[in-house]
Structure 1
Amino acid sequence: MTINIQHGSPSFPSATSTLAPSSREDMDGAIDVLVEQKENWIQTSVTERIRIVDSLIADFSALAPRWVAASLQAKGLDEDSPYAGDEWSAGTWALLHSLRQLRQALVNIQKDGHPHIPGPVRMRPDGQVKAQVFPFRSYDRVLFSGLKAEVWMQPGVTAETLSSTQAVNYQSPAPAGKVALVLGAGNVASIGPLDVLYKLFTDNQVVLFKANPVNAYLSPLMKEAFRTLIKPGYLRVVYGGAEEGTYLCQHPNIDEIHITGSDKTFDAIVFGPGTEGAARKAARQPLISKRVTGELGNVSPVIVVPGPWSQQDIAYQAVHIASMLVNNAGYNCNATRVIIQHKNWSQRQELLQQIRSVLSHLPTRKAYYPGARDRYQAFLDAHPEAELFGTGDPQHLPWTLIADVDATHTDDMCFTTEAFCSLFSETALDAASVVEYIERAVQFANEQLWGTLNITLLAHPRSLKDPAVAAAVGRAIARLRYGTIGVNYWAGTSFVLGSTTWGAFPGHEIYDIQSGNDVVHNSLMFSRPQKSVLYAPFKSMPTPPWFTSQARIAPKLFKQMVRFEQSPSWRKIPAIIKTALFG
């Protein structure tokens, strides 16, 4: 097996599926139905769309336990596994949470022509507009205490014109109907359905969804949950691997393509596979001319700002950083891959040691994603000094830390290549001061690390009392070229917030696609976003449920959250808070 692991995301090997590939006759038939219905979808009233979303919420809520059970079985987890919460949170709750936001956005469009922004809209000194989008509703202020999020707009958007950049496909005249092909991701169960919803309700396109072979086992459940869209012909689901994907991408009646996955797959779609595809890319001669969008990978960094951290601070942030890797066994495009530290910080080694302690106490997980063992071994071959935590076997991979990677080795695969497995690294930068370190860390992340999807920055409140450090952090947030920035909160959680955007920093052309060229989620339907920024206290209270330290309570908590999204009510909040605090 040959796996391209250098520079960018992996080129994943073919996966097997329990579902037979769709025949060309079946795929053609599905596309014919969508072509027939694409104009009807454009003309579907907002009132009817709200009704459809209500049906989706009810239908998916009813089968959520079966959805989770299927995911747990496929990933080799028991119902009482400490990792079962992953499937209830990002796999199930995230979808219902986004559906609730979509419903509210549609209600606002029906009333005023655009979704309502729940927080203030402000202008930065340089004229850039930013809108607070989270908390999205009053419940969120209790359920996500202290967490706030903004969407920063691209230059040229003003406070006065901001609403006109929202829900543009709902403005007159209506756009022509289109058929979109959505190529599903195989790692997180909610990605495919969320991508489908975005193409339908924000981009206003009917959808052919090709399930990823890795998690195609969910497709029968998805067809059941999305029957309100399938019955009138606005959605069709098909199966298959690369051969079927190639056929669909080149089909004359597919107008647009969206993929969540690898830049290698994106290139194969646009330019073709192998050496011929590489030659077309070099010659800037795409194989297809239709619009192709992607949410792709990242070598996701965490910038640690030096400060007067207590032992409790170090313990908390060690769990925080480890949790960013361990979630979903490391098969996330937003998983931390490089921890950036100040070489002269007196507590650098103490933090690393605590991270080692956290990893050493965590059970290993099944390496369920295709090619994981080969990717993992390639990193170990390049870094035999890597530290392994937990016992590996034919099915499991150890948690792995590669510490003190030389930051001057710009072509080190830890910096150029997304591991997409249970492994991350740490590097340290020289600097004469904390301010200089922050500036160098931003430059390193922007220029040396591959991708622009998401980055997390950790800064102690006492550090921010120094005006120079606070100003440097402010400049860092403005200068970082990433689609999501998390300040004291894992940037990857932007994926589940819904009202934030999820995707690369804008500006990648197809010849250097990196982390992609569009956003999804984005329930407020901004058409010109630049990036999302999350802000949280240095230590959140209660501890976020996705922390590994909260694994015991996470399944129970997110089951409650799923029931809450099915029918939100203040009467359900006390039980949720009780579970979050006491289990």
Structure 2
Amino acid sequence: MLDIPNRGVHPVASAESPAREADPGLPEGDRARLDAAIDDLRTGAALWGKLTLPQRRTLLRRIRAAVVAVAEEWADVASTSKGLEPGHPLRGEEWLSGPYAALVALDAYTDTLGALARGASPLDDLRVDEAPGGRVRVHVLPTAPIDRLLLSGYTGEVWLQPGVTAAEAARTAGLGQLPGADAGGVGLVLGAGNVTAIPFLDVLYELLAFNRVALLKVNPTQDDLVPVYERALAPLIGAGMLRIVRGAGDVGAYLTTHPGIDHVHITGSVTTFEAIVWGSGEDAAQRRETGVPRLGTPITAELGGVSPIIVVPGEWSEADLRFQAEHVVTMRLYNSGHNCIAGQVVLLSADWPQREAFLAALREAYDAAPARPVWYPGAQARVDDAASAHPGSQRMGDGSRVLIEAAAADAAPVQTTEYFAPVLGVVELPGLGQDFVDAAVAHANTELTGTLGANVIVDPVTQAALGDAFEQAIAELRYGTVAINAWTALGFLTPTCSWGAYPGGTLADAPSGIGVVHNARLLDRVERSVVRGPFRPFPRSVAPANLAAGGRPSVLPKPPWFVSARTGAAVSEGLTRFRMDGNPVRLSATLLQAFGA
């Protein structure tokens, strides 16, 4: 670990100057240490290139053991850093979004390397069929019996880009781990500041998808986690395949233009991405005009966006209204809204007879969710800005949450500004049935900023009545992850799903980024992931009427990631500990706790 001290509160890589040699804010001693780290990684890259697939698999297992050893500390430090003190009902978020996500990803990558080492394709044990538009679709969840229990009723698919055949998908799955794959050199990972598993997972993807060792630049908001990252990733650090550095914008600016860096990956904001690529001020304007970026190194990015929640009108019970209102509130308030994939705009039918009943349930759930700090730098100011930009908005909870209800013509700010804070908008559109679905899809595609993720809530009777037209509408959504009766965060948490913007982002226009991560089966030419869940939880999910209507059966009550789950913290910790040791007694106790949600 190189301790480059923070200076000020600049973004991760604000790139205030166009060339690293001209940056007066970074002392020569810090530059020398960064240069030495990159030199170490050059040596580590050569070592990585010599490892066989079984040796690489063994290395992943060593990392897994290291994660197990630090998991409790990881969750505790992350919770405390976000103001969730011991006993807070939402501390389970940091188990799921930290060590749990790391463990399931390591297990999935280990399986992929095992298949490749046997001379098989990572797709050999998966169902492959067609999605709308003649696309190839790979079913990536569930892949094991335990998935069918822990995520009962949930499924995941990766849709490949049009033109990819099933044979090509099987042949190219493996990416950087295929025989003869090019060495990727040294990558710079500019770590996210909001979710603690993201830097860890991005390092793994650099290593496995691109054969690239990594220099991880930690966001200053994650500085308290650096000792945890160092121990969790110690096998990579010890082999010279990873170096971790702290620092503010001056460090990021120096590294993004360093001649020893072969690739840059960032999880962050569009503003930071544009500063890295084009610079700032008049220099950036001139570069954009000429089309010559400041950055001469390839870059991938995940940049967030404004995520829609399309609520398809149907005939819902009071229990349905309450459950789906809590579902929507979870999409917004998990991690206090500091998520790139947080649902921000509910698209609601103005003609739905139950419109007002749903809004009443939504207001109640939004107001009643557990109090927590708005902890991300600048977030409270964005909450205040949202309230000011939308006259008539409501302050809810302890006053830190804003609810905006508006007609489509009056909703521009909440549809175009990613607030990255507890701000939820409701935008009404006309129509019922397929007319509403088509209008909502078109509205999401054209009026909301970004292409990262979209959520759709639809009851089984309505979905069955819509038939193939509903699936075609899903295909028309231009988003990198689409969730049906689930939150797109499930796609993030499922390592075999891909995660990233819908294809088409460029250096000049990348509202949600370029490329994908996670994707543990290492599929090439990914278009999107689609996750599906049960409209109703247990026991209503197994009621004869629900099953007769085509509803998904599930043995799960309220999911532990719901902000309204009373036992969510204990269940999330228990599920992580089961992933750590596979103890069936522990799992049984955790499932009993889940039924107390």
TM-score by length of 2: 0.90
In structure 1, the residue corresponding to 2:460 is in which secondary structure?
coil
1:408 alignment partner AA: A
Judge conservation of contact 2:10–2:249 (CA < 8 Å) in 1. Answer: no
Task: Quickly say closer, same or farther: Cα 1:177–1:361, change in 2 above 3 A.
Answer: closer
Q: Report what 2:521 is aligned to.
A: 524
In structure 1, the residue corresponding to 2:467 is in which secondary structure?
helix
In structure 1, the residue corresponding to 2:300 is in which secondary structure?
strand
After the TM superposition, which of the residue ranges 217-226 and 301-310 deviates more from structure 2?
217-226
1:156 alignment partner AA: G
Which among 262, 267, 276 is matched to residue 269 of structure 2? Answer: 262
**CA–CA distance in structure 2, aligned partners of residues 312 and 182 of structure 1:** 44
- 1:117 is displaced (CA, Å) by 5.3
Task: Quickly say closer, same or farther: Cα 1:448–1:231, change in 2 above 3 A.
Answer: same
**CA–CA distance in structure 1, aligned partners of residues 197 and 325 of structure 2:** 28
In structure 2, the residue corresponding to 1:408 is in which secondary structure?
helix
1:356 alignment partner AA: R
**CA–CA distance in structure 2, aligned partners of residues 201 and 365 of structure 1:** 37
**CA–CA distance in structure 2, aligned partners of residues 90 and 370 of structure 1:** 19
After superposition, give the CA deviation of every residue in 1:528-573 in whole Å (9 maximum; x if it has no partner). Answer: 11000111121133221111221x3222222222222223355554
* 1:44 aligned onto 2:47: no
Q: Report what 2:460 is aligned to.
A: 461
1:28 alignment partner AA: D
2:209 alignment partner AA: T
Judge conservation of contact 2:184–2:210 (CA < 8 Å) in 1. Answer: no
- 1:301 is displaced (CA, Å) by 0.5
2:413 alignment partner AA: M
In structure 1, the residue corresponding to 2:77 is in which secondary structure?
helix
Which among 457, 472, 475 is matched to residue 472 of structure 2? Answer: 475
Judge conservation of contact 1:118–1:134 (CA < 8 Å) in 2. Answer: no
* 1:554 aligned onto 2:555: no
Task: Quickly say closer, same or farther: Cα 1:353–1:361, change in 2 above 3 A.
Answer: same
After superposition, give the CA deviation of every residue in 1:212-268 in whole Å (9 maximum; x if it has no partner). Answer: 001111111111111100011000001101110000000001000000010111111
After superposition, give the CA deviation of every residue in 1:189-226 in whole Å (9 maximum; x if it has no partner). Answer: 11100101110122110100000001111111111111
**CA–CA distance in structure 2, aligned partners of residues 274 and 297 of structure 1:** 23
**CA–CA distance in structure 2, aligned partners of residues 440 and 194 of structure 1:** 36
After superposition, give the CA deviation of every residue in 1:325-370 in whole Å (9 maximum; x if it has no partner). Answer: 1100000011111000111111112111111111222233212111
* 1:146 aligned onto 2:157: no
- 1:281 is displaced (CA, Å) by 2.2
Q: Report what 2:237 is aligned to.
A: 230
Which among 52, 61, 67 is matched to residue 68 of structure 2? Answer: 61
Q: Report what 1:407 is aligned to.
A: 408
- 1:105 is displaced (CA, Å) by 1.2
Which among 283, 292, 310 is matched to residue 317 of structure 2? Answer: 310
Task: Quickly say closer, same or farther: Cα 1:24–1:334, change in 2 above 3 A.
Answer: same
**CA–CA distance in structure 2, aligned partners of residues 125 and 443 of structure 1:** 17
Aligned length: 558
**CA–CA distance in structure 2, aligned partners of residues 124 and 102 of structure 1:** 25
- 1:38 is displaced (CA, Å) by 1.3
After superposition, give the CA deviation of every residue in 1:282-331 in whole Å (9 maximum; x if it has no partner). Answer: 43220122111001111000001000011111011000000111100000
**CA–CA distance in structure 2, aligned partners of residues 167 and 75 of structure 1:** 37
- 1:15 is displaced (CA, Å) by 8.3
- 1:108 is displaced (CA, Å) by 1.1
**CA–CA distance in structure 2, aligned partners of residues 77 and 473 of structure 1:** 40
Q: Report what 2:129 is aligned to.
A: 122
In structure 2, the residue corresponding to 1:442 is in which secondary structure?
helix
Judge conservation of contact 1:14–1:242 (CA < 8 Å) in 2. Answer: yes
Where structure 2 has 5 or more consecutive residues not aligned to the other structure, the ranges are 1-8, 14-25, 539-555
- 1:43 is displaced (CA, Å) by 2.0
In structure 2, the residue corresponding to 1:525 is in which secondary structure?
coil
Q: Report what 2:595 is aligned to.
A: 581
**CA–CA distance in structure 2, aligned partners of residues 205 and 574 of structure 1:** 40
1:169-184 correspondence to structure 2 within 5 Å: 169-184=176-191
- 1:576 is displaced (CA, Å) by 3.0
TM-score by length of 1: 0.92
Judge conservation of contact 1:401–1:423 (CA < 8 Å) in 2. Answer: yes
Judge conservation of contact 2:270–2:512 (CA < 8 Å) in 1. Answer: yes
In structure 2, the residue corresponding to 1:511 is in which secondary structure?
coil
Q: Report what 1:429 is aligned to.
A: 429
Q: Report what 1:33 is aligned to.
A: 40
- 1:95 is displaced (CA, Å) by 1.1
1:477 alignment partner AA: I
Moved over 6 A (4+): none
**CA–CA distance in structure 2, aligned partners of residues 237 and 150 of structure 1:** 34
* 1:354 aligned onto 2:361: yes
Task: Quickly say closer, same or farther: Cα 1:113–1:278, change in 2 above 3 A.
Answer: farther
After the TM superposition, which of the residue ranges 300-309 and 44-53 deviates more from structure 2?
44-53
Judge conservation of contact 1:165–1:528 (CA < 8 Å) in 2. Answer: no
- 1:165 is displaced (CA, Å) by 2.1
Task: Quickly say closer, same or farther: Cα 1:249–1:581, change in 2 above 3 A.
Answer: same
**CA–CA distance in structure 2, aligned partners of residues 533 and 378 of structure 1:** 33
- 1:118 is displaced (CA, Å) by 4.4
1:144-543 correspondence to structure 2 within 5 Å: 144-392=151-399, 398-403=400-405, 405-409=406-410, 412-431=412-431, 433-466=432-465, 469-541=466-538, 542=556, 543=558
- 1:526 is displaced (CA, Å) by 0.6
Task: Quickly say closer, same or farther: Cα 1:83–1:124, change in 2 above 3 A.
Answer: closer
**CA–CA distance in structure 2, aligned partners of residues 571 and 70 of structure 1:** 27
Judge conservation of contact 1:293–1:518 (CA < 8 Å) in 2. Answer: yes
**CA–CA distance in structure 2, aligned partners of residues 145 and 252 of structure 1:** 49
Q: Report what 1:9 is aligned to.
A: none
Task: Quickly say closer, same or farther: Cα 1:282–1:424, change in 2 above 3 A.
Answer: farther
Judge conservation of contact 1:118–1:132 (CA < 8 Å) in 2. Answer: no
**CA–CA distance in structure 1, aligned partners of residues 181 and 345 of structure 2:** 45
